Structure 1
Amino acid sequence: MALIASASFIIVALDAFRWGGASSLKDKEPGSGGYPLLAESLLPLYHDLNSTEGRQALNLDSSDYPVLKDVSFSRFRVRPGDDTSCLNLYQPRNPKILAASDMFIKSGRFAFRDSMARSPEEKRNPWLLLEKEIGEGKIPVIADSNSMAYALHLRLGEELALNQGSHAIRLKLVGALADSLFQSEILMSEPNFLRLFPDQEGYRFFLLDLAPEKAPAVAALLEDRLSDFGFDAIPTAERLAGFHRVENTYLSTFQSLGGLGLVLGTMGLAAVLLRNALERRRELALLQAVGYNPRRLGLIIVSENILLLGAGIVTGTLCALLAIVPAFSARGGPLPILSMSSLLLAVLTAGVAASLLATAIALRSPLLSALRSE
């Protein structure tokens, strides 16, 4: 029963954190921030794609391309560096940095796991922390909580040192985003970025706010018209799905250990049940002598075994649910009831099959000799 309970615990606890489909883009809180498209360019763009003059300079006049009407661009300056997401197998020493514009900071998009916000305004919009002066030469930055914990190995309030020429830049983590599309980079305010990295000109990272149904047409148009800049646009849901696939792979690896425990538990259960049934041959022979037929005897044995099996599954499941409540409530989203139920049903089926096998072997053995010894 202990092995079955342990296997149930691992299966339920890990499956609860498995990522499913993409988040809704209608809400500004999920990891996409409500932006259907994300774009990057190999060469910097200097013109403002939100202005008529900027679009005309890039041959993207809205009058010629009506699909670009009501499309808003949030643009970021980029300092190239190491990927800070789970896609990087090594610990990043020189992370990629994005410069958040004042317009983006004021928009207050994306959900935060935690922050060092103190004032009511900062608590409503933790992005304002990027504009705060914290003294001692430290620069406030924001990163994704997953990147902080598993790639940078830092916690909120800790510092990251970057070598910039002859001096070091001290970056202080003041906010942690909750499962965002910014897992590959960290963000600072644009004024701080321009002061620290004046040689990084133009904009190379863009978030596009538009109606989701227009996303494929807009992406195709921009990639065609801005091909000279190496412009590449992808759905934000696709970027998040890439991160989630890696997380699911890790979960599957650990879940396979639970499967191994299930196999061992099932084999052990079959052996224990068979031994118990054989040790009860005298009892079974006596019951058969007073009128119990083999079918009823088998039902009694199987019922007892299912009771123990069910107790193990319920114990493991309840312990797993209690263990994941704090983390899962912070993460949000529905529990994957269907997949967890399927896995637990597989555990129950394997246990019942082992019980039936042990019972059949025990009842097929001759009971007359056991009755004579009684």
Structure 2
Amino acid sequence: SEFTRAALKETSALRELDLEDNRLDDEGALALAQGSLLASVRHLRLGYNDICDEGLCARKRFSAMRISAFDDDLFGAASYARFRVRPGEDASCLNLYQAKNPKLLAPEPGFLADGRFSFGRTLADTEAEVANPWLLLDRQFDDGAVPAIADATSLAYALHLSVGDDFVVNRESDNPITLRIVAALTDSIFQGELIIGQRPFVRLFPEHEGYRFFLIDAPADATAGVTAALEDRLSDYGFDVTLASDQLAAFHRVNNTYLATFQTLGALGLLLGTFGLGAVLLRNVLERRRELALLRAVGYDARDVSRLVLVENGLLLFGGLAAGTVCALVAIAPAWLARGGQFPVVSLGGLLLAVAAAGLISSLAATVVAVRSPLLAALRSE
């Protein structure tokens, strides 16, 4: 311990200290954590040493001193993808306005080769591009347009574009740049950005050097540790980690808000339509009281008349439901086939049954009223 203190007296001006694989034990870690020897150190590497349970209090001391003391083997199971960044406006649904100059990302070549994420529509021509649409970012156009990839949701609802359309950035500058959408990602975390290749990015934006956006793939049980370690070690650089699930949830909250609004309006319309259906069926039966009274006078009993009215109204009711269901399926088929997902059979079936039940109950109630009405009064008017 005395040797450790003496050896570290000269480290008072260091910001980083690497003590990996130095046979540092619990006693040495405790000695290291005492006093003010590490007043200026912010990043301390202690991996591959012999620090056991007794050294945990030393780690807590390092944390209290705002010194990162995580083992580097924590990052061994994680993989990283780096992106160059040109700052710009958010192109996702979180932006209430249409982005005129969106944020641009440029991944390193290794990310393109991995072929991650799922795609919708693309301009792929070759088998390699069909198998990995990221390769479309390497395509060259005769008119000088730069290939770009965007999320399908942002493309349709925020930018109002489709695959194959052009989008001009730096429109008001002396050097406008035309981006051509060559592929659309499906429900991805890139809803706020446009993605271009690294070579055109370096050529067009040489002032934006280095990598400032990272994708980190870590095992589920190591996610919390990797997140804490990165934010701690890179705190001086403003490094902030956001879980992909949280990012997608933020996008989905906006979409779900719109869907909930339209579902509420649709439910209100369905409720009014159901009451209207009941009123129409009730009025139809009441206006036929004289006809029904005549049927009873010639020998039909109340049960036969009720069955006749229910069958007539049932044919109209189920015919209307079938026609409406077919029209609705035709209307949503393109979006459903493009995005996929599970078809809501249970909820849709329950909704149709509820409407059918409301119509049949209305018809039955009207029939009961008509059958129980005075027969002679109805026949006199007939």
Normalization by structure 1: what TM-score? 0.74
Please tell me whether residue 348 in structure 1 is matched to residue 356 in structure 2: yes
Relative distance call for 1:251 and 1:168 in structure 2 (3 A) is same
Q: Which residue of 2 aligns with 1:311?
A: 319
Q: Which runs of 5+ in 2 are unaligned?
A: 1-41, 49-70
- Give, in angstroms, the shift of residue 108 of structure 1: 1.0
Relative distance call for 1:75 and 1:315 in structure 2 (3 A) is same
Relative distance call for 1:160 and 1:100 in structure 2 (3 A) is same
Q: Which residue of 1 aligns with 2:151?
A: 144
Q: Distance in 2 between matches of 1:183 and 1:358?
A: 54
Pick from 105, 127, 130 the counterpart of residue 123 of structure 1: 130
Relative distance call for 1:303 and 1:128 in structure 2 (3 A) is same
Relative distance call for 1:345 and 1:232 in structure 2 (3 A) is farther
Q: Which residue of 2 aligns with 1:53?
A: none
Relative distance call for 1:348 and 1:214 in structure 2 (3 A) is farther
Please tell me whether residue 94 in structure 1 is matched to residue 97 in structure 2: no
Contact 1:270 1:358 in 2 (8 A): no
Taking only aligned residues, the RMSD between alpha carbons, in angstroms, comes to 2.8
Structure with more contact order per residue of length (Cα contacts < 8 Å, sep ≥ 6) = 1
Pick from 172, 190, 194 the counterpart of residue 186 of structure 1: 194
Relative distance call for 1:105 and 1:316 in structure 2 (3 A) is same
Higher mean alpha-carbon deviation, 109-118 vs 209-218, is at 209-218
Relative distance call for 1:144 and 1:276 in structure 2 (3 A) is same
Query: Could you list the per-position Cα deviations for residues 141-182 of structure 1 after superposition, in whole angstroms to 9, with x for gaps in the alignment?
Result: 111122222222223233222228532222222222222221
Query: Could you list the per-position Cα deviations for residues 28-74 of structure 1 after superposition, in whole angstroms to 9, with x for gaps in the alignment?
Result: xxxxxxxxxxxxxxxxxxxxxxxxxxxxx966787515443310011
Pick from 279, 283, 286 the counterpart of residue 278 of structure 1: 286
Query: What one-letter code is carried by the residue in structure 2 that aligns with 1:248?
Result: N
- Give, in angstroms, the shift of residue 185 of structure 1: 0.3
Q: Which residue of 2 aligns with 1:50?
A: none
Larger Rg: 2
Pick from 75, 87, 90 the counterpart of residue 83 of structure 1: 90
Query: Could you list the per-position Cα deviations for residues 314-352 of structure 1 after superposition, in whole angstroms to 9, with x for gaps in the alignment?
Result: 221122223333432232232122222233233233333
- Give, in angstroms, the shift of residue 112 of structure 1: 1.9
Percent identity reads: 53
Normalization by structure 2: what TM-score? 0.73
Relative distance call for 1:220 and 1:132 in structure 2 (3 A) is same
SS at match of 2:121: strand
SS at match of 1:232: coil
Q: Which residue of 2 aligns with 1:159?
A: 166
Contact 1:78 1:200 in 2 (8 A): yes
SS at match of 1:118: coil
- Give, in angstroms, the shift of residue 373 of structure 1: 4.5
Superposition pairs for residues 292-371 of structure 1, below 5 Å? Answer: 292-293=301-302, 297-371=305-379
SS at match of 1:271: helix
Q: Distance in 1 between matches of 2:43 and 2:144?
A: 39
Contact 2:286 2:366 in 1 (8 A): no
Query: What one-letter code is carried by the residue in structure 1 that aligns with 2:318?
Result: G
SS at match of 1:309: helix
Higher mean alpha-carbon deviation, 277-286 vs 93-102, is at 277-286
Query: What one-letter code is carried by the residue in structure 1 that aligns with 2:152?
Result: S
- Give, in angstroms, the shift of residue 362 of structure 1: 3.3
Query: Could you list the per-position Cα deviations for residues 165-218 of structure 1 after superposition, in whole angstroms to 9, with x for gaps in the alignment?
Result: 532222222222222221110011222222222222333322122333433443
Contact 1:270 1:355 in 2 (8 A): yes
Query: Could you list the per-position Cα deviations for residues 94-152 of structure 1 after superposition, in whole angstroms to 9, with x for gaps in the alignment?
Result: 10011111010111112222222222222221211212332443222111122222222
Q: Which runs of 5+ in 1 are unaligned?
A: 1-56
Relative distance call for 1:58 and 1:208 in structure 2 (3 A) is farther
Contact 2:92 2:154 in 1 (8 A): yes
Kindly tell me the number of residue pairs found equivalent between the two proteins.
317
Q: Which residue of 1 aligns with 2:222?
A: 214
Higher mean alpha-carbon deviation, 219-228 vs 70-79, is at 219-228
Relative distance call for 1:365 and 1:231 in structure 2 (3 A) is farther
SS at match of 2:214: strand
